[in-house]
Every structure is written in C-alpha cells, then in structure tokens.
A and B are shown apart, each in its own frame.
Chain A
Amino acid sequence: MIDPVFLLEAAINGVLLGGVLALLALGLNLIFGVLDVVWIAYVDLVMVCMYLVYFLVMGYGWPVWLGGLAGIGLGVLLGLAVHLLIITPILSSPPVNQLLATGGLLFFIQSFATFLWTTDHRSIRINLPVVEVGGLFLSFARLIAFALSIVAMLGLWVFLRRTFIGTAIRAVAQDRGAMALMGADPQRIYLVTSGVGGAMAGLAAALLSIQYSVHPYFGAAFGPITFMVCVLGGLGNMLGAFIASFVMSEIISLGGVLWSTEMGYVIAFALFIVMMFIRPGGILARRER
C-alpha cells in the first residue's frame, strides 16, 4: 500500500503543477477564442523561451528573475512574429491549412533547436530548498511557480475584465465581425492577443525553467497535456481550461504515483472521453459561435 503521505504530496504537487499548466492552457485558449486558430507549436515556443532563460542565467550569469523577465519579453516577440509571419497569411484559409502551418512550425522549431543546441538536457541548476510543511516535503521552486502563475492569471482576469482592449478581446471572441463595425481594426486586436498569449508562454517558460530541464523535445512532453486540458475544459472556454488544468494535473500526479506518468495521461484522456458522452463541449458549456 502506498504511504498516504506520498499520496498527499502527490496531490499537492498536482495542484502546484496545475498552476503552470493553467497558464499554458489559458494562453492557447485566449488565442483560439479570438483568432479561431490553434497554435499547435505553442509549447514549443515555451521551449525556445526556456532556452533563452538557460543561456542568460548559465552563460551570462544573469539572476534568475531577470532571465525570467527576458523570457517573457521573448515570448511576446515570438507571439507577434508568429502572428504576423504565419497566421496572418492563412487567416482565411481552411482549418486544415492553418493546422498544418502551426504544425509545420512545430517541426521547424524542434529540429532547429536540435541543430543549434543538440538534444542534451539543459538545466539552470538552481538549488531551491525543499520546504517541509507538516511532514510533507514540497519543492520551493514549485511553490513559487504556482504562486506566480496564480498572480499572472489574476492579472489576466483583470486585464480582460477591466481594460478597454481586454473587453474588446472578449468581444471579438464572441463575435469577430461585430467588432469591426465598432471601428476596431481586427488586426490590432489580434496582435494584442498574440502578444499576450506569447507573454503567457514566456512566463510559463520562466516558471518551468526552475523546475525542469529544457531540451528540443520539451514540447512533446508538455504539449499533449496542454491540448488535452483545452479539450477537457472546452476549447475557447477560459474558466473550463482553468478547472481542467487542475483536474488533469491531479490525475497525472496521482496516476504517476500509483502507476506511471504515462498511465496518468491515459486515464485523463479516458476521463475526457467519458466527459464527452455525459457533458458535451467540455466541463463547462462552450460559448456559441
């Protein structure tokens, strides 16, 4: 029998992991909600930002928090670049073409990273303490990452609810054409959205850097989970994605302790299939389109 302490630790780690996962899922959902395009290469953009953090911290001796900020900056740039170079030309193409474009980007980024930096795993080797809380051992890095991701998500919520452009972004997600009739240049809103999505990827990169090592196929590890979270929460549904992130990370964490990490994912997906039969469109009903 598994020691209940391990289970509890796994459960808590699940929550902590869920924070960063939510960041990824929300970024992806934000872009999809507004642009109706799924960035298949999204987590690979995270990987690129993680490499930046690595090189700045290990190669140039930057403090981690500064490297993290640089990662966010790169995320914004990448978000804008992807939108301008790849998404804009195919905005009116059929979905299969759009998916192939961002899918091709995935190949490109993963291979280019392999070419530039080899498949070696790189870690920023930051030795953060392990905190003991009532008999449980938790990684301090994980706690910080969780706290910061929650702060970021609150920031996103405020941005979307209280600012003018944030409300415009929500409006476009509900009816793209109508916003143009208000005098809003859709391209400007798309750019802001892509920039914000990129920033979230950059932040996720910073937070993941202190927990994991980076390698070109990092996207293959985190990408599928992110997609599954989005699907479980209902694609385009922000609240659904938030909840689903924690559900998924709990299943993965507990599943990992009880069986294996991979089985955790399989169970999560099986749950998704069940959900599809009993509650269509994800945990929360999806918006109309």
Chain B
Amino acid sequence: MIGRAAAVAVLLALVVAPFVPMGGMRQYVLHVVIQIFIWSFIGGAWSLMGRFGLVSLGHGAFLGVGAYTTTLLWNFYGLTPWLGTLVAMAAAVVLALIVAYPCSRFGIIGHYFALVTLAVGEVVRLLIIAERDWTGGSLGLTLKTAGASGSLLAAQSADKRVFYYAALIVWLIGLWVWVRLDRSMARAAMEAIGEDEVAAASVGVHVARFKLAITALSAALTAFGGVVYAQYITYVNPETLAGIGVSLRIVFAVVLGGMYSWLGPTVGTALTITLQEYLRVKFGLRLIGMAETIYGLLLVVFIIFLPAGIYGSVRALLARRRAPAPATA
C-alpha cells in the first residue's frame, strides 16, 4: 500500500499544484482535476452501497435532487447554498428511504433492485423536465450569479483555484468517510450481511437498519456532490445530473477502479474522465458520436475482461508475484 511518506508527498503536490506554471493550460487542467475530485467523491458515495451488493443504477436521482434543490432555493428565494445543502441532503435521504424501505423489507436485491433504482433516477429526470416552468426543463437552469468575482454567501467564485481547493477538501472528506466506515463495526456487520443475511440477522445484526443507514448516507453524500458540482459549473441540466446516463458512468468508474478499496473510485474516475477528455479532444466535433462510441465499447470490453477492476486486477497480479499459489490443501 502507499506508504505514509508517499501519501504526504502526493497531498503536498496536490496542494501546490494550482500555482505551478502550466503554460496557459492551467484553467483547463484545473477544470479537469476539479471534476475528478467531485466525481471521485460521488463515486465513493456510491461505493458505500455498491460494495455491499446494493447496486444502484439511479444515483442520478440524488445528484439531481441535490443540485436542483440548492439552485432553485438560491434562484427563487435567495437562500444561501450553505443552508440549501442541508435541505438538499435531507430531501435526498427522504427519497432514498422511501424507495429503500420497501426494497429492504421485501428482499428486493440484485438486478431487481438495480432496475428499481434505475426507475427512480429516470423519474427524477422526468419530473424535472415535466415541471419545466420553474426548473427550465430539458434546457436546464443557470445559477443566478451573485456578483462578478463571486461571493462567499452564494458559494460562487470566478477563480477556479478556489473551487480547486474546495473540491480537494470535499474529496478528502469523502476518503475519510469511506475509511472510517470501512474500519467501524458497521463494516463487519455489513459484510456479514453480504455473506449471509439470515445468519447475520440471527446474531442480532439489524440487517434492515444497516441497509437503510448505508443507503441514506450514500444518498446524502451524493446529493452533496451534486450541490458542489452545480456550484462549480453554475448550470444544471436534467441530462447531466439525473437519469441513467450519469448513473451508469458513476458505477462504471467505481467498478473500473475497484469497489472495495478507498482509492478505487478515485482511480476509476480519474481514468474515465481522462479517457473521455482525450477522446473528446481527439475526435471533437469532427466525428460526432465517435468519442462516445469508443467509450462505450471500451466500457463493455473492460467489464468483460477486467471484472475485478483495475485495482483488483493489479492487486491480484502483485499477490501472485509475491507468493506462489498455495496448494489447495
């Protein structure tokens, strides 16, 4: 694993990065890295559920709820996003519980659960489009600017570096939550649930309660991620923030990077975003759709040939090099 010294070095590099000369590319690089931080955070939030078998294909719902709640509250009521976030996260949790409770009670898991969450994501998207009078429908909604250079109250800034550090902090918080959850008793319980729900229940692990708690946490964090994204991009749109497209991308990045490790979502997100940018720049507007086509093709190929994700595959490779395979005794 990454040694402590190495981790500190990486962290220092990240902190200093925005001030390193980049020959005019700074704005673009910062933009990409900010996105990586935010989406890694969101991916990590998703993986809290994913690693325990609760595969959600509808996390776009929480993103959308998060982003639109703060944006609408700010645009129409001038409520500062700092408070709006709390409302947004609460709304996401309520939505999550409404769906997760019956699923948990009636043992809806696996593909069926994924399909239900997919439907939730789509419904949020459709609801946003349907209420076009105040949400702007498919055209989206722009965050009302609060002054040219930004405002702390409105959580806006014209300087990308501010968002860079904000996103960095958010990303670090996400990692911290992930590791804390991983180490706590909850994790042992959830894994017991993952292995054998009935047995876990018989030793007093409150299966349903844990599932709901994890789901609520995941939803709240995802909504927060949506808020941060909305504040940064200052524009929300149902296609980019709700619906199956974004939900699939999140899941993809996490599985690619590795669902079971703290850096997995980050690695996967960094890779997929970099890949997307590369393809976009390479094909750009010349061959419309080709970038996405290759992206989709690579996703399918990866999932078939690298089922454990990059992290898992590398780990397995290293483990095999370190010690010869034990004789099946």
The bracket for how many chain A residues form the interface is 35 or more
B151 to chain A, nearest CB (A): 34
Q: Which of A38-94 contact B (CB under 8 A)?
A: 38, 40, 86, 89-90, 93-94
- Name the one of B114, B123, B127, B129 contacting A95, with C-beta atoms under 8 angstroms: B114
B residues near A111, Cβ cutoff 8 Å: 289-293, 295-296
Count B-side interface residues using an 8 Å CB cutoff. 49
CA distance in complex: A86, B120 (Å): 26
CA distance in complex: A262, B138 (Å): 12
B93 to chain A, nearest CB (A): 16
B residues near A101, Cβ cutoff 8 Å: 300, 303-304
Q: Are B106 and A273 in contact (CB under 8 A)?
A: no
Q: Are B57 and A265 in contact (CB under 8 A)?
A: no
A residues near B28, Cβ cutoff 8 Å: none
A residues near B293, Cβ cutoff 8 Å: 108, 111-112, 114-115
CA distance in complex: A62, B281 (Å): 41
Q: Which of A242-289 contact B (CB under 8 A)?
A: 259-263, 265-266, 269, 272-273, 276-277, 280-281
A133 CB within 8 Å of chain B = no
B residues near A97, Cβ cutoff 8 Å: 255, 303, 307
What does DSSP make chain A's interface, helix, strand, loop or mixed? helix
B115 CB within 8 Å of chain A = yes
Q: Are A95 and B116 in contact (CB under 8 A)?
A: no
Q: Are A95 and B102 in contact (CB under 8 A)?
A: no
B residues near A155, Cβ cutoff 8 Å: none
| With contact pairs A95-B110, A224-B122, A230-B115 given, residues A104 and B300 touching in the complex (Cβ less than 8 Å) | yes
CA distance in complex: A223, B55 (Å): 19
Q: Which of A131-175 contact B (CB under 8 A)?
A: none
Closest residue of chain A to B254, judged by CB? A96
| With contact pairs A100-B252, A262-B126, A266-B126 given, residues A277 and B297 touching in the complex (Cβ less than 8 Å) | no
Q: Are A96 and B292 in contact (CB under 8 A)?
A: no
Most B C-beta atoms less than 10 A away, residue of A95, A110, A263: A95
CA distance in complex: A77, B323 (Å): 46
A51 to chain B, nearest CB (A): 14
A75 to chain B, nearest CB (A): 20
B158 to chain A, nearest CB (A): 34
B residues near A86, Cβ cutoff 8 Å: 300, 304
Q: Are B244 and A224 in contact (CB under 8 A)?
A: yes
Contact with B along A222-243 (1 / 0, CB 8 A): 0110011011000100000000
- Name the one of B55, B112, B296 contacting A235, with C-beta atoms under 8 angstroms: B112
A37 CB within 8 Å of chain B = yes
Q: Are B118 and A227 in contact (CB under 8 A)?
A: yes
Q: Are A104 and B115 in contact (CB under 8 A)?
A: no
| With contact pairs A96-B251, A273-B99 given, residues A266 and B123 touching in the complex (Cβ less than 8 Å) | yes
Contact with A along B104-132 (1 / 0, CB 8 A): 01101011101110111011001101100
CA distance in complex: A265, B126 (Å): 7
Closest residue of chain A to B291, judged by CB? A111
B residues near A109, Cβ cutoff 8 Å: 296
- Name the one of A98, A220, A262 contacting B130, with C-beta atoms under 8 angstroms: A262
| With contact pairs A99-B55, A224-B119 given, residues A107 and B288 touching in the complex (Cβ less than 8 Å) | no
B residues near A269, Cβ cutoff 8 Å: 119-120, 123
Chain B residues engaging chain A, CB cutoff 8 angstroms: 50, 53, 55, 57, 98-99, 102-103, 105-106, 108, 110-112, 114-116, 118-120, 122-123, 126-127, 129-130, 243-245, 248, 251-252, 255, 259, 287-293, 295-297, 299-300, 303-304, 307
Question: Can you sample 7 A-B contacts with CB below 8 Å?
Answer: A36-B111, A90-B307, A94-B307, A95-B111, A101-B304, A107-B248, A111-B293
Known: A40-B244, A110-B292, A115-B293. 17 other contacts (CB 8 A): A99-B55, A101-B304, A103-B57, A107-B292, A108-B296, A108-B297, A109-B296, A111-B292, A114-B292, A114-B293, A220-B243, A224-B119, A227-B119, A235-B115, A262-B127, A266-B126, A280-B108
- Please give me the 5 A-B residue pairs with the lowest Cβ-Cβ distance, nearest first: A108-B296, A107-B296, A111-B292, A115-B289, A262-B130
